[in-house]
Structure 1
Amino acid sequence: MPLFNVYPLYNVTPVSGKGIYVYDDKGTEYLDLYGGHAVISIGHAHPKYVEAVSNQVAVLGFYSNAVQNPLQVELANKIEQLSGCAAYELFLCNSGAEANENALKLASFKTGKTRVVAFDNGFHGRTSAAVAATDNKNIIAPINAQQEVTILPLNDIEGVKKELEKGDVCAVIVEFIQGVGGLDQGTTEFFETVDKLCKANNTMFIADEVQSGYGRSGKFFAFQHYNVTPDIISIAKGMGNGFPIGGILIHPKIEAKFGMLGTTFGGNHLACAAGLSVLNVIEDQHLMDNVNVMSEYFIKLAKTIPQIKNIKGRGLMLGLEFDFEVGELRKKLIYNHHIFTGGASNKKLLRILPPLTVGKDHINQFFEALIEALTEVENNVIAN
């Protein structure tokens, strides 16, 4: 049976990984500066992660949410400890899309309203309401388009105010650093004013931290760079270091009711073991400190390369913007220099999302290869 052909694939077949590197079926080593869309947070096959998942699957991999699961409580307490989000409550699911779907559903339950405000170039997932709030008409099917969503320009404070004062908006959802959209960020004034507007208009402020959370921005959550208090925080990608897990942190003013949310696989024993191991490594190896040090070093080197026209993002969620589309450059990096990087809806942007364990030697390796790859691309242009 053939696979449903929805992914354009590079001709690379990874079969193993260790730390910042992956290895293909021919034994070639690749520097992974993309982490599978920011999923690999503590490095491939980290020994603490392998030990935790192996030990848990050997005793109990799964049972439903109809019984007590102390690992969920332990995970919730550890998230609270490291994030500083005191008094929030945790609901666990399986992915970022599901996290945002539940966040939007919960906002509608709480407010009794139906409309959502989202922003240009935002990406929130591919499920029904999450994809409707995503600024990409190509992935919104007619059944999704029935959702009531208004998409505004980022930083449009007056637009948000006007929409919220209409009285039918249940949620404003925003990425504090856009991922797929190209690493754009709102201003401090924008985020802090929107937070106040939501509170004044009985609207839930949802921080989509699916990609920017778990230390990637240099703080545990990207919204913590601002003076805001989200009502709901969605999390996923770096949460399980590759094991499927997601969730939402819910402000205590939102009261739970039996049956309001639910999931079969969410918060299972194996997922919780994986999630706990990630948090323990982030804490024990001081990875948020490493994020800030490595980010500063990366940006310093990036500023020395004249072809880079703009450096976007924060922490280890970075983008290098050029004055040409980077598709060919990414191919040179992966095939000629064996380095994984990412793209974005902004075709001139190279996305860098390495494991939080990345070191200066890895960054040096990348920039040496980038300089060579830029020369190769320029020579191709001249030749053609």
Structure 2
Amino acid sequence: MELFDVYPLVDITPVRALGATLWDDQGREYLDFYGGHAVISIGHSHPHYVQRLTEQVQRIGFYSNSVQIPIQRELAEKLGRVSGYEDYALFLCNSGAEANENALKLASFHTGKTRVIAFKGAFHGRTSGAVAATDNPKIVAPFNAGHAISFLDYDLAAVEQVLHGGDVCAVIIEPIQGVGGIVSPSDEFLRELAGLCRQHGALLVADEVQSGYGRSGRFFAHQHAGIRPDIISVAKGMGNGFPIGGILIAPELKASHGLLGTTFGGNHLACAAALAVLEVMEQENLVEHAAELGHYLRRELEAHAGAEEIRGRGLMVGIKYGFPVKNLRDQLLAEHHIFVGNAADPTVLRLLPPLNITKAEVDRFLMAL
């Protein structure tokens, strides 16, 4: 049996990793300035992370959600305290797509409405509802196309016009679009959007799958705008490579048993990984580090990168050039052994390094660029 091709593959086989460094099967060393799509939040093979997972698997690795799993409550309490959402409830699943799928489903259950407002350039995942709310017709199968989705620009008048129809259950938005090319609505737009949702009885869903977990220099990127969404979806950096996702649910949204469910979500190993991430983030002040080092990185890029625009916040950075960046990305990898990312916009280079990247490693990237 052959593997089904998912992405065009780079001819590199990583076999070992530590911090922001990868080694391939030929012994070559690489700087990871992409974190495997923003997944590596606390660095590869962090000793505390390895210890946490090792100790957990030696005790128990899995049992279903039909029994008491105390480590889930430990994770919920820790995440609530660290993020500032102690009064919210946590539903655990396995990925960002599942998180967004369940967020939209919960919004529809709660409101009894069917329509979703999403934004142009959005990427919310590849499951049925999540991919329908993703602005990329190429990955929406006919089976997924029956959902009532309105794709809008960051235009408050257009949002209000659709909300006036009375059938919108949720407005889903990435506080910083990742795949879309590190595109951000303004803080004022997010504040006005939250007000419109309240006014019209629609739930505001913040997709923090890529922009959350300290990536922007705040725990969640929407916190720069001072808003509190009804539902917040998380994944990627939450587990530092171990599959885990979830939604944070506002206290006024009550869900009865059976509305949401999962087999593997919140298993013992996933929760151990997620707790290790939060513990390291606290111990090493990684949110503050992302803010400080991200400011340095963007300042240097603005001065020396020769780009049209430097986008993003913290260590979620987009460099927009006036030409397609594929050759530049390939050259950084082939000649300088540095992994960086691209975006749906072919002129944007996407940077998503581990949050504990060092200044010396940032300078190495800047020199190569």
TM-score of the pair, normalised by structure 1: 0.95
Is 1:334 the counterpart of 2:337 in the alignment? Answer: no
Is 1:180 the counterpart of 2:165 in the alignment? Answer: no
Corresponding residue SS for 1:205? strand
Deviation at 1:189, TM superposition (A): 2.3
CA offset digits 1:345-376 (Å, max 9, x no partner):
11011100000001110011001111xxxxxx
Deviation at 1:7, TM superposition (A): 1.1
Is 1:244 the counterpart of 2:229 in the alignment? Answer: no
Deviation at 1:59, TM superposition (A): 1.1
Aligned match of 1:347: 346
In 2, the alpha carbon distance for the partners of 1:238 and 1:5 equals 25
CA offset digits 1:13-72 (Å, max 9, x no partner):
101100010110001110000000000000000000000001101110000000001100
Q: Which moved more, 1:316-325 or 1:2-11?
A: 2-11
Aligned match of 1:15: 15
Whether the 8 Å contact between 2:213 and 2:219 is mirrored in structure 1 is yes
In 2, the alpha carbon distance for the partners of 1:306 and 1:238 equals 27
CA offset digits 1:159-197 (Å, max 9, x no partner):
110101100000000000000000111122211111011
Structure 1: which 4+ aligned runs deviate by more than 3 Å?
none
Aligned match of 2:138: 138
CA offset digits 1:132-151 (Å, max 9, x no partner):
00000000000111111000
Question: Given residue 141 of structure 1, which amino acid in structure 2 is its aligned partner?
Answer: A
Question: Given residue 20 of structure 2, which amino acid in structure 1 is its aligned partner?
Answer: I
User: What are the within-5 Å matches in structure 2 for residues 1-384 of structure 1?
Assistant: 1-153=1-153, 155-305=154-304, 307-370=306-369
CA offset digits 1:250-269 (Å, max 9, x no partner):
00111120101000000000
In 2, the alpha carbon distance for the partners of 1:207 and 1:339 equals 31
Question: Given residue 31 of structure 2, which amino acid in structure 1 is its aligned partner?
Answer: L
In 2, the alpha carbon distance for the partners of 1:110 and 1:20 equals 42
Deviation at 1:306, TM superposition (A): 5.0
In 2, the alpha carbon distance for the partners of 1:336 and 1:166 equals 55
In 1, the alpha carbon distance for the partners of 2:102 and 2:156 equals 26
Q: Which moved more, 1:191-200 or 1:95-104?
A: 191-200
Deviation at 1:227, TM superposition (A): 2.6
Corresponding residue SS for 1:61? coil
Whether the 8 Å contact between 2:188 and 2:225 is mirrored in structure 1 is no
Question: Given residue 322 of structure 2, which amino acid in structure 1 is its aligned partner?
Answer: D
Deviation at 1:308, TM superposition (A): 1.5
Question: Given residue 42 of structure 1, which amino acid in structure 2 is its aligned partner?
Answer: I
CA offset digits 1:312-340 (Å, max 9, x no partner):
01000001111110001111111111000
In 1, the alpha carbon distance for the partners of 2:86 and 2:161 equals 32
Whether the 8 Å contact between 2:99 and 2:235 is mirrored in structure 1 is yes
Whether the 8 Å contact between 2:95 and 2:244 is mirrored in structure 1 is yes
In 1, the alpha carbon distance for the partners of 2:67 and 2:86 equals 25
Q: Which moved more, 1:302-311 or 1:122-131?
A: 302-311
Question: Given residue 165 of structure 1, which amino acid in structure 2 is its aligned partner?
Answer: H
Question: Given residue 287 of structure 1, which amino acid in structure 2 is its aligned partner?
Answer: L
Aligned match of 1:377: none
CA offset digits 1:62-86 (Å, max 9, x no partner):
0000000110000001111111113
Whether the 8 Å contact between 2:32 and 2:353 is mirrored in structure 1 is yes
In 2, the alpha carbon distance for the partners of 1:281 and 1:189 equals 32
Identity over aligned residues, as a percent?
56
What's the C-alpha RMSD, in Å, of the aligned pairs?
0.7
Contiguous gaps of at least 5 residues in structure 1: 371-384
Question: Given residue 158 of structure 1, which amino acid in structure 2 is its aligned partner?
Answer: A
CA offset digits 1:69-109 (Å, max 9, x no partner):
11000000111111111310000000000000000000000
In 1, the alpha carbon distance for the partners of 2:28 and 2:134 equals 37
In 2, the alpha carbon distance for the partners of 1:9 and 1:336 equals 18
In 2, the alpha carbon distance for the partners of 1:306 and 1:35 equals 21
Whether the 8 Å contact between 2:77 and 2:86 is mirrored in structure 1 is no
In 2, the alpha carbon distance for the partners of 1:288 and 1:34 equals 17
In 2, the alpha carbon distance for the partners of 1:96 and 1:187 equals 23
CA offset digits 1:287-327 (Å, max 9, x no partner):
11111111111012112225212100100000111111000
In 1, the alpha carbon distance for the partners of 2:114 and 2:4 equals 34
